[in-house]
């Protein structure tokens, strides 16, 4: 329990050292997936679930595999956020991949959308992997850990 509280403290206090846009990407990801982990699987009395337009009960939601898949994905993304907070560089690639998929899904249905997605993903790649501010964040966090 004490380790969990220490990790949660690290997860949120590390945001103070992050550059603004990186903090936004990280914060949205962390808050979204932590809330899914804590609240998303509670059997809410008026919750509705659907798969391909078919309504599902809470038990069907679990038996179709949707809930376990979402649980695993949310746990992985929460771990990615914790790894970023601890200065692990590999997690930066996972954060990029997640946001690149989100951008692609939002923009995929037209030629202009594809051009916008390519531009946005290129800008995101440059920011996350070449930006001085993001590189400085990882440098500072790793120096503090030593």
| Residue 70, CA distances (Å) to 41, 62, 107 in order | 9, 10, 23
For the chain, give every domain's residue range. 2-145
Comparing C-alpha atoms, which of 138, 110, 134 is closest to residue 123? Answer: 134
Residues ≥6 apart with Cβ < 8 Å to 96: 124, 125, 128, 129
pLDDT for the residue numbered 19: 94
* Neighbour count for residue 81 (Cβ, 10 Å): 24
The whole-number mean pLDDT for each consecutive block of 10 residues of the chain, a chain of 146 residues, reads 81 88 93 85 77 85 87 91 92 95 91 94 97 94 84
pTM exceeding the 0.85 threshold for the entire prediction: no
């Amino acid at each position: 329990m004490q380790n969990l509280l220490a990790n949660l403290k690290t997860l949120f206090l590390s945001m103070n050292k992050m550059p603004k846009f990186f903090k936004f990407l990280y914060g949205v990801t962390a808050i979204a997936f932590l809330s899914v982990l804590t609240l998303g699987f509670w059997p809410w009395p008026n919750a509705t679930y659907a798969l391909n337009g078919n309504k599902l009960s809470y038990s069907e939601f679990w038996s179709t595999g949707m809930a376990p898949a979402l649980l695993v994905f949310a746990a992985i993304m929460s771990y990615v956020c914790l790894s970023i907070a601890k200065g692990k560089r590999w997690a930066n690639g996972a954060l990029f991949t997640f946001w690149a998929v989100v951008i692609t899904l939002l923009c995929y249905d037209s030629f202009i959308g594809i051009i916008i997605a390519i531009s946005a993903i290129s800008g995101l790649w440059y920011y996350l992997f070449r930006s001085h501010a993001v590189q400085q964040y990882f440098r500072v966090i790793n120096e503090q850990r030593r």
